[in-house]
Amino acid sequence: MSKKVIYLKSSEEAQIIKDNGIILGKAHAEVVKAIEPGVKTKDLDKIAEEFIKDNGGKPSFKNYNGFPATLCISVNEVVVHGIPSNRELKEGDIVSVDCGVFKNGYHADSAYTYMVGEVDPLTQKLLKDTKLSLFEGIHQVRPGNRIGDVSFAVQNFVEKIGYGVVRELVGHGVGRNLHEAPEVPNFGKRGNGPKLQAGMVIAIEPMITLGKRFVVQENDNWTIRTEDRSPAAHFEHTVLVTKSGFELLTTFEYIEEVLENKKLVII
């Protein structure tokens, strides 16, 4: 069957994804609690894996196309797909954590970029604006709109400020498979692309750079970093198209409770 088939989800299927999104949000929160200078990224990965398994799920990313870990942990100039390791986080770092949960036959997928202690103001603003761009895209989700409306909203918001929009990596449909049709770029033209229909589930995930938009892949065949080594931020929600608009199937609620307690909330 063609990979371009877009599968519409029933309300029951969407609820399973949303339930998984709660586990995922809580797994993120457990990771956030441990983020501090000196922690090894592989230790964060272990926390997430154990939490997901303890809640009856499986990590979506582990062994996906050979990826060796539960989390993609991407520090500073790494945009996405960073592999957890013995690297220790340090004061002033930013760390993007991307995670997925598979349970009862469906995936949920979300990402958030965190600050490690005091971060310079320009980079703080990058995080804030990247998160805002995610919601600019989400607010274009309604039946009759097109993927290009979502894409344009993200691109228009961040490029006006002067950031780079990564083009080599895009959002995607989510369901029984971690990556399904349609692709959801963070750049595009209004009115272009597949039409949004009630029952579609998509992951919208801006990947935005403080410098130029160009990226390179490291020799591990996974890690994607900015070519100019400028910082990059990444935020992602799994979103359902409803009859009247959208519903978030993932949540930042648990993450931001922890961040507020640590006085590291960015908005």
Domains of the chain from N-terminus onward: 11-261 (3.90.230.10)
Predicted confidence band of residue 3 (pLDDT cuts 50, 70, 90): low
Please state, in angstroms and rounded to a whole number, the distance separating the CA atoms of residues 109 and 36.
Answer: 24
φ, ψ at 160 (rounded to 5°): -60, -30
Residue 1: what pLDDT? 33
For residues 196-208, give the mean pLDDT: 98
Read off the pLDDT band of 172 (50, 70, 90). Answer: very high
Tokens at 113, concatenated? 């970029």
How far apart CA 102 and CA 75 sit, in angstroms, is 25
State the average pLDDT for the chain: 96
Question: pLDDT tens for residues 81-117?
Answer: 999 999 999 999 999 999 999 999 999 999 999 999 9
Mean pLDDT of 54-77: 98
- 262: confidence class by pLDDT, cuts 50, 70, 90: confident
Q: How far is CA 67 from each of CA 39, 61, 179, 220, 221, rounded to the nearest angstrom?
A: 22, 7, 14, 10, 10
